Copies of this chain bind each other. A is one copy, B any other.
Amino acid sequence: MNYEKLFSKTAGHMRPSEIRRLLRWATQKDIISFGGGIPDPKNIPKEDLAEITKRVILEYGEEALIYGPTRGNNILLEEVIKFMGKNGIKVKGVEELVILTGSQQGLDLWARVLLNPGDIVFVEAPTYLAALNAFAPYQPNIIGIPLDDNGMKTDILEEKIKENIRRKRKIKFIYTIPTCQNPSGYSMSLDRRKHLMEIASKYDLLILEDDPYSYFLYEKVETTPLKAMDNEDRVVFMSTFSKMIAPGLRVGWMAGNEKIIEKIILAKEVADLCTSPLSQYIAAEALKTGLLEKHLPRIREIYREKRDVMMSSLETYMPNGSKWVKPVGGMFIFAWAPEGVDTELIAQKAIEKYKVAYVPGRSFYPDKSVRNAMRLNFTYPSKEQIVEGVRRLSQVIKEEMR
């Protein structure tokens, strides 16, 4: 059969993820991987999770092992409401909430429910590449707004908004990761947050706030979620337990105006009926029993140390002309090789010859304009691997410069 002629137009706009391609290397023993945003597997609370899970199946098996409501199981919905409350986010009730099969599903359903070809979407540049890939099949016009160490440059955002209104283009939403931005490592200042909210109000715009990392802070920075500053119901908030507990559960959530959440639920119904109730019960119990509260500070310290090891390794090994951001939190250091080095071109050699993997920075820019950047994850590798990996990385770059 000629399958090619059967594929849909949508399929033609799907892009493979650079991260997923590199993750294949992550599990190979001799490769040091700075690729994915993977928690330290040695420090996932396995024993606690094993006990919780066994108990959940024995006690709640009749609900946890069958289909659940598409919105999510009540036990987790209620825990998430409490959890967000501690962070200043109030919702009217479960009607403003949906549990997701990882926050990736949120990005996908969001795009499906909102995007028509040609719609304008604003994102930070660089931004989370899996968000770009989730939006791409719907063929929006994605506009990147530059960042500095106070986060998204909201004055430039406003200019671009005005320009697009003038050109009568349909603006659909602003996608932002205000706290510990992925991949840049910056956080949005309070002034910028306020400005962003003013702009959204002035031009009547919707904001998708993605917040996977605000529980992994290594510096004192602003963390008030935009959703907590939102008096006009124009922010939809999204987070995940992937980084906080374990990505293997595939549990995230989205909170916002019930009209949008209802549409997301409608889309989720055909996407997978419901998120694994077993995973939901495990996450709920991790919250209820205080496991998360106990686990987070411990893992934060481990990650802070790993970040510092990576910082000093970069200092030691990287050639002149390189630079990098000291991330205030999260899981990544965003770095630039000296001008002229194409990190995408040398990625394959880095893996094959030097046995070190990273994500080329280009994929994080909607216009793919930056060629010498790279995203380096410091949570998955051990400290020894970080030192050795950065050493190898610097060798690849130096070899390329010659």
Q: For the complex, is A81 an interface residue (Cβ under 8 Å from B)?
A: no
* Cβ–Cβ < 8 Å partners of A64 in chain B: 248
Check B54–A66 contact: CB distance below 8 A: no
Quick one: closest B residue to A280, CB to CB? B248
Quick one: closest B residue to A134, CB to CB? B270
Known A4-B259, A7-B113: A49·B65 in contact at CB below 8 Å? yes
Q: For the complex, is A105 an interface residue (Cβ under 8 Å from B)?
A: yes
Residues of chain A whose beta carbon lies under 8 Å from any beta carbon of chain B? 1, 3-4, 6-11, 14-17, 20, 23-24, 27, 36, 38-39, 41-42, 44, 46-47, 49-51, 53-54, 57-58, 61-70, 101-102, 104-105, 107-108, 112-116, 130, 133-134, 136-138, 172-173, 204, 206, 232-234, 242, 246-250, 257, 259-260, 263, 266-267, 269-279
Check A172–B279 contact: CB distance below 8 A: no
Among A17, A136, A233, A269: residue with most chain B CB under 10 A? A269
A70 to B250, CA, bound (A): 13
Q: Smallest CB–CB gap between A331 and chain B, Å? A: 13
* Cβ–Cβ < 8 Å partners of A67 in chain B: 23, 36, 38, 242, 247-248
Known A259-B3, A272-B105: A8·B47 in contact at CB below 8 Å? no
Assembly stoichiometry (copies): 2
Check A116–B232 contact: CB distance below 8 A: no
* Cβ–Cβ < 8 Å partners of A69 in chain B: 20, 23-24
29 A-B interface contacts by CB (under 8 A): A1-B206, A1-B233, A1-B257, A7-B113, A8-B112, A11-B114, A11-B266, A14-B266, A17-B270, A20-B273, A41-B63, A44-B61, A44-B65, A47-B58, A49-B57, A53-B54, A65-B248, A65-B249, A101-B276, A102-B273, A104-B271, A104-B273, A112-B137, A133-B269, A246-B278, A248-B276, A250-B275, A276-B276, A276-B279
* Cβ–Cβ < 8 Å partners of A8 in chain B: 112-116, 138
A130 to B173, CA, bound (A): 30
* Cβ–Cβ < 8 Å partners of A247 in chain B: 65-67
List 7 tightest A-B contacts by C-beta distance, closest first. Answer: A65-B248, A65-B246, A46-B61, A50-B57, A41-B62, A54-B54, A250-B276
User: Which one of B14, B61, B249 lies within 8 Å of A270 (CB-CB)?
Assistant: B14
Known A41-B65, A66-B247: A272·B102 in contact at CB below 8 Å? yes
Check B259–A70 contact: CB distance below 8 A: no
A275 to B276, CA, bound (A): 10
* Cβ–Cβ < 8 Å partners of A272 in chain B: 101-102, 104-105, 108, 250, 272
Q: Smallest CB–CB gap between A286 and chain B, Å? A: 12
A266 to B17, CA, bound (A): 8
Check A278–B62 contact: CB distance below 8 A: no
Q: Smallest CB–CB gap between A8 and chain B, Å? A: 5
Quick one: closest B residue to A68, CB to CB? B248
Q: Smallest CB–CB gap between A202 and chain B, Å? A: 13
Quick one: closest B residue to A58, CB to CB? B50
